[in-house]
Amino acid sequence: GDSVTQMEGPVTLSEEAFLTINCTYTATGYPSLFWYVQYPGEGLQLLLKATKADDKGSNKGFEATYRKETTSFHLEKGSVQVSDSAVYFCALSALGQGQGAQKLVFGQGTRLTINP
């Protein structure tokens, strides 16, 4: 079945460092890909998305490019801030049961801590 694999955490960086969180996927067809962020005690917020190969999603300085040839969707940011500390989830859209049904398949999450 469809699956998402993220780099294991936790990841600890200093402020202004470069960030990469790896994400690879296995899927039938051509799924949409997502990065969600979760701050402590809260629900998930969509960070960025890409719907087809070579698309680049971007938001708040974060970027990820949909690479079909390597089945990857790595998250990057050039200069992280303390406020970026959170758990990041990579996800793909997959077919569910029922006509037109969609569901998301999530990776296990990567906890990021940024030190001042």
Partner 1 sequence: DGGITQSPKYLFRKEGQNVTLSCEQNLNHDAMYWYRQDPGQGLRLIYYSQIVNDFQKGDIAEGYSVSREKKESFPLTVTSAQKNPTAFYLCASSIGGGVGEQFFGPGTRLTVL
Q: Centre a 10 Å sphere on the Cβ of residue 93 and count the other Cβ atoms it contains.
A: 19
Binder of partner 1 out of 34, 35, 66, 73 (CB under 8 A)? 34
C-beta closer to partner 1: residue 19 or 93: 93
Q: Given candidates 20, 108, 113, 115, which one binds partner 1 under the rule CB under 8 A?
A: 108
Q: Which two tokens stand for residue 31?
A: 């799924």
The stretch among 22-30, 53-61, 73-81, 100-108 that binds partner 1 (CB under 8 A) is 100-108
The whole-angstrom separation of Cα 15 and Cα 59 is 18
CB nearer to partner 1: pick between 14 and 51: 51
Q: How far is CA 32 from CA 78, 79, 95, 96, in A?
A: 24, 26, 11, 14
Q: Is 2 a residue that touches partner 1 (CB under 8 A)?
A: no
* Contact string (CB under 8 A) for partner 1, positions 55-74, x = contact: --------------------
Please count the residues of this chain forming the interface with partner 1, following the rule CB under 8 A: 28
Token pair for 11 = 């990841």
**Residues 6 or more apart in contact with residue 37 via CB below 8 angstroms:** 44, 45, 47, 86, 87, 88, 89
Binding site for partner 1 (CB under 8 A): 4, 31-32, 34, 36, 41-46, 49, 51, 89, 93, 96-104, 106-109
